[in-house]
Amino acid sequence: MRPAANEAMERRRAARLAAVQALYQLEMGGGDPLVVVDEFLGRSSNGEVGSGTPFDEEWFRKVLLGAWSERARLDAELSSALAEGWTLPRCGAVLRAILRAGAFELAALPEVPAKVAINEYVDIAHLFSSRGEPGFVHAVLDKIASRFRAGRGGP
């Protein structure tokens, strides 16, 4: 892979992580998402997240604001993809943030291949858990990918 392409991929990966963190912050603390964006960017030095990787601020805003504004629709889709007996509130706030961000990309950003979006959010789930959550994220996002990407040549 070309160095510039690899750098762009890393910046987008870091933006996804930042968006998940900001979605979590919004859910836990409430408030205006635009204020959270500004606060988050203000805390980040040189557009970097905790890992020190510079992130794509435009992608961060797009995923965060899109996932937050569409959360009722995304939550309905995510809830319908859960196994019997599971509810979205039972998943916990971190997992909900990961699922919402991934679902938003699958629903609203067709330029991102479904496989890429799913794998990126599975990788983020690995950062927060070493138990079964990454497999859970994969299963749920894979299930809704076919719904969101139907008529677009599949996931």
Query: Token pair of 18, please?
Result: 């930042």
Domain definitions of the chain by residue range: 3-148
The CATH fold assigned to 3-148 is N-utilizing Substance Protein B Homolog; Chain A (1.10.940)
Q: Comparing C-alpha atoms, which of 129, 67, 57 is closest to residue 99?
A: 67
**Taking a C-beta distance cutoff of 8 angstroms, is the pair 55, 15 a contact?**
yes
Please tell me the predicted confidence (pLDDT) of residue 5.
82
Q: Is 63 left (phi over 0), alpha (psi -120 to 50) or beta?
A: alpha
Record the pTM. Answer: 0.90
Q: Model confidence over 48-103: pLDDT tens digits?
A: 555 566 789 999 999 999 999 999 999 999 999 998 889 999 999 999 999 999 99
- Cβ contacts of residue 92 below 8 Å, gap of 6+? none
